[in-house]
Structure 1
Amino acid sequence: MQASTLLPTIAVFSLVTVEFGGHALLRLIAVQHGTLTALRERFFRAGHAHAGVLLVLSLAYFLYLPRAEFSSGAEWLFGILLLAGVLAQSGGFFLHLALGAEGRSSPGTHLTRAGAVLIAAALIALGVGLAQHL
């Protein structure tokens, strides 16, 4: 199986889980704990928003990945790098939601930044691959 077949399938099903998870978790928190604090609400929204937008970005990425004519191994590497970055960046918001405090860095903020670096690396790799085949 090719990376450009399996990885977008994972991204599409992940979008469904992001939608369902956002709805279910927000409802669960509202029922069990009342309202969210402003900080928790911001990070809760940011985590889901980033996950959704970045997964849609990954779908476009996987359309262009074969056009870069990378080896199969490189396609897997860059595709997994992108999805790991999406998971890390959006997951970092949720980790900060659990461990962080307003105005202070936490393991979640570090994970979010690391995710951004992984996404950037995957995008740069694709850009270079596409530029080589202009």
Structure 2
Amino acid sequence: MTDRPDRNARRTSEALIYFFTHVEDLRSQLRGHESREAVDGLLTAVRDDGDVDAAAKRLNERIRAEGDALGLYGRTRAIGAQLAGIGDAGREQGIYLCPHRRCLRHHWADETADSPPACDLDGTPLRLKRL
């Protein structure tokens, strides 16, 4: 038995974090029409519950084809995960997560207003998970 599907899912989730954090930068930096279409394709795949893995791979290929050696996946290892309960003594034990369970973006419960933050893609309120 292998954990490859879990690694692939995590890799795609980390790529989505980078993508949604930098989507406007990517859009402005990519020169080719096919590359800009790949950005829109990934947005559409996430919004419409399409093949996100294939859309992320296509965008990664387009970014690399335009001369960026890191592509979409090469930037994901720089994103550090913070473990619950380590270094966050003043934090409530709650975190808002992607309502669609598609990416790893999050907001700590004590960093948000009275209402939950919303998904940048479709405005759906993020789901609260107690830690």
Tell me, yes or no, whether TM beats 0.5. no
More helix by share: 1
Larger RCO, structures 1/2 (Cα 8 Å, 6+ apart): 1
TM-score, scaled relative to structure 2: 0.31
More strand by share: 2
Q: Which has the larger radius of gyration?
A: 1
